[in-house]
A = this chain, B = another copy of it.
Amino acid sequence: MLLSKSCEYAIRAAVYVAYTSNLGKRAGIIEIAEAIGSPMHFTGKILQALSRKQVLSSAKGPNGGFYIDDRHSVFLIDIVRAIDGDELFTACVMGLKSCSDAGPCPLHDQIKPLKSQLLAEFSRKSLNEMVKEYEQNRYFLK
């Protein structure tokens, strides 16, 4: 797996939250979990984490829920970093502590560009872009 299950849920939840935010509404965890097909409470925890990391916002009480302040744009990499960190882009494929550009493992030179590309894709993909496609019914979230 490229990303942890938590991170997959995080991305899908964030897309849904961005989607409802565009409609001027806040999304509650019940609604979100239903929309993306994930365990409700667990999804709540993940959204709390995203909220703490300022990827999105939350409000308690009536009409509360999760939302995204549309003044700051979120990129996929923000979500991935918040949940999985960035070892995906930095750690050695073979798990070697001694692996580095200077003393590379036998896969280093071939894998490095792939990791860079992955990082680049995650960095340029905005949540807004993903929401647009979702609004066009181009895909589901489960």
The chain A residues found within 8 Å of chain B, CB to CB, are: 1-3, 5, 8-9, 11-12, 15, 76, 87-88, 91, 93-99, 103-107, 110-111, 114, 117-118, 121, 125, 129-130, 133-134, 138-142
Contacts and interface: CB of A to CB of B under 8 A. Distances in A.
Contacts of A88: 1-2
The 3 A-B pairs of least Cβ separation, nearest first, read A8-B95, A106-B130, A110-B121
B139 A5 contact: no
A94 B140 contact: no
11 contacts: A1-B88, A12-B96, A97-B142, A105-B139, A106-B125, A106-B133, A106-B134, A106-B138, A111-B118, A114-B114, A114-B121
A107 B121 contact: yes
A106 B94 contact: no
Contacts of A138: 106
Given A2-B111, A106-B133, 19 more contacts: A1-B1, A1-B91, A3-B93, A5-B95, A8-B95, A11-B94, A12-B94, A76-B107, A97-B142, A98-B142, A106-B125, A106-B130, A106-B138, A107-B121, A107-B125, A111-B118, A111-B121, A114-B117, A114-B121
A101 to B, nearest CB: 12
